[in-house]
């Protein structure tokens, strides 16, 4: 993650935005009133999706259960199977 201040960001805003969008590299911008982080839209959407999924009751527990399961316990995906 890159770190810059507001003055430097102003001088190279276009380049910074292009780097964030192209390489998914977040940039921390420091200022006297506090810091902000610039992230790409795809990274932001990914974070929002994770927050949404993890806020649903039972999802975290199911993920942890799946994480600890053995490959022999896996089942094949069946698109006709009802959920």
| 4-15 confidence digits (pLDDT tens) | 999 999 999 999
* Predicted TM-score (pTM) above 0.85: no
Cα–Cα distance, 66 to 81 (Å, whole number):
19
Delimit the domains of the chain by residue range.
1-38, 40-69
Neighbouring CB atoms inside 10 A of 16's CB total 19
Token pair in block for residue 62: 């199911």
Residues 56, 60: Cα–Cα separation, whole Å: 8
Q: Per CATH, which fold does 1-38 belong to?
A: YefM-like fold (3.40.1620)
Strands 27-30, 2-5: pairing kind = parallel
59-82 confidence digits (pLDDT tens)? 888 888 888 888 887 778 888 988
């Amino acid at each position: 993650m890159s770190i810059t201040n507001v003055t430097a960001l102003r001088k190279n805003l276009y380049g910074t935005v292009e780097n964030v969008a192209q390489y998914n590299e977040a940039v921390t911008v420091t200022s006297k009133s506090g810091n902000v982080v610039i992230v790409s839209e795809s990274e932001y959407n990914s974070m929002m999706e994770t927050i949404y999924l993890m806020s649903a009751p039972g999802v975290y527990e199911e993920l942890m259960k799946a994480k600890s399961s053995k490959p022999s316990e896996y089942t094949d995906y069946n698109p006709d199977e009802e959920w």
